[in-house]
Amino acid sequence: MTRLPAPAIPPVADLYGELLLAETGPQPRRIADYWPGVAVVGVAALAAAWLADHYAAPLVLMGLLFGLALSFVSQDRRTHAGLDLMSQTALRWGIVLLGARITFDQFAALGFAPFAALIGIMLLVMAVTIGTARLFGQTKPAALLAGGATAICGASAALALYSLIGKQAVDQSRFTLTLVGITVASALAMSLYPVLAVQLGLTDAQAGFLIGAATHDVAQAIGGGFSVSPEAGETATIVKLTRVALLAPMLMLAALWLSRQGEAVASRGRVSLRLPWFITAFLAVVAAGSVIDIPASARDGAATAAQALLLLAIVATSMKAQLQLLLGQGWRPFAPVAVATLTSFTAALVAALAL
């Protein structure tokens, strides 16, 4: 009896072998199965961190570039288990540890009006980005990814949102392009927003609010604030960390919105409105840090560990992207990030001037 060859799976449909995995089902893993992928991600992350430290380059951007340059390693099945571990488990624990930098006292120090303004900016950015998605030929889930990541904390929020939206609604290549756009926009914001704040004659408090409310990633927001003045840097830090604390409410809103978008979730069923365990753990860490006097060294250690885990997740995620698909995407996938960035800056400037 002649054996028929297995049907070929087109690369566009089989992003990182998900279709084959769905046919065969999850396979039991041994510890040794993780080492090839973990090792290559670890080496790439160390190289990215070294370059970022020695050449003052954005750490997230370096991680993305190294991951994309090594994307060919995902063609080797021996790396799949380790890449999955780094892109999923490392991401979730990194988000949990982000909570060590946030306390409820920071909310009180910020005040009601600025806090309400941040919530308004978050909702406006997400609404405008989703509302303009069709103008650029983008899907609403892709626009939600860009808008939510821009409204909260850049790459880490994008990773958390992507774990909720899923590969069926936003493919790996589109997600990687969104990460690239957010990282570039955040680097530009760190360079331009402090200059604009000085040229517009903003006070330190206003400049700190603008930079903290409109810059995507935490490191860039804090660095941009302190480039204006120490007072502006402190304000930018509080504002930015408050935005990070809005990650859990934003994910709840995203889950609710996705559950009402039948076309966006038709391939994966109804989205659960329950918070993912890592967001619940994130809130628990915030609560613990608010009622317990945690030593500064422990907080700094948790923040460093969170940054390292998120870097590993970014490197692994970009390694899983297929460059041949990225080359054919054009400029349109970057449009939602641009719209979200402009909306965020405009709304934050208006709010800063009103303070």
Are the CB atoms for 302 and 95 separated by under 8 Å? no
Q: Is the pLDDT of residue 23 over 70?
A: no
Are the CB atoms for 225 and 189 separated by under 8 Å? no
* pLDDT confidence band for 152 (50 / 70 / 90): confident
**Segment of 149-153, 164-168, 325-329 carrying the highest mean pLDDT:** 149-153
pLDDT per position as a tens digit, 217-252 = 776 787 788 878 878 887 887 888 788 778 878 888
pLDDT per position as a tens digit, 258-299 = 777 654 444 444 444 455 677 678 778 888 888 888 888 888
Structure tokens that stand for 326 in this block: 């990225």
pLDDT per position as a tens digit, 207-225 = 999 999 998 877 678 778 8
Q: Is the pLDDT of residue 3 over 60?
A: no
Mean pLDDT to the nearest integer, 30-50? 90
Give residue 2's pLDDT: 43
Mean pLDDT to the nearest integer, 56-81? 82
The residue extents of the domains of the chain are 34-354
SS3 assignment, position 132? coil
* pLDDT confidence band for 328 (50 / 70 / 90): low
Are the CB atoms for 315 and 40 separated by under 8 Å? no
> For the chain, what is the mean pLDDT?
78
CA dist 278 and 319 (Å) reads 23
SS3 assignment, position 173? helix
Nearest to 129 by CA among 337, 347, 350: 337
Give residue 25's pLDDT: 41
Q: Is the pLDDT of residue 51 over 70?
A: yes
CA 301 to chain centre: 21
For the chain, the first-to-last Cα distance in angstroms comes to 80
Mean pLDDT to the nearest integer, 161-170? 76
Nearest to 193 by CA among 159, 222, 150: 222
Element (H, E) at 212: helix 204-214
Give residue 176's pLDDT: 78
Window from 77-91, 159-173, 285-299 with minimum mean pLDDT: 159-173
Those residues with Cβ within 8 angstroms of residue 311's Cβ, 6 or more apart along the chain or in another chain: 45, 48, 49, 59, 60, 63
Nearest to 38 by CA among 265, 292, 313: 313
Which amino acid, 268? Answer: R
Q: Is the pLDDT of residue 305 over 50?
A: yes
* pLDDT confidence band for 321 (50 / 70 / 90): low
Mean pLDDT to the nearest integer, 73-101? 83
Q: Is the pLDDT of residue 18 over 80?
A: no
For every residue of 150-166, DSSP letters joined together read HHTTTHHHHHHHHHHH-
Structure tokens that stand for 127 in this block: 């609404």
Q: Count of residues for the chain?
A: 355
Mean pLDDT to the nearest integer, 109-121? 86
* pLDDT confidence band for 345 (50 / 70 / 90): very high
**Structure-model confidence comparison of residues 266 and 188, the more confident one:** 188
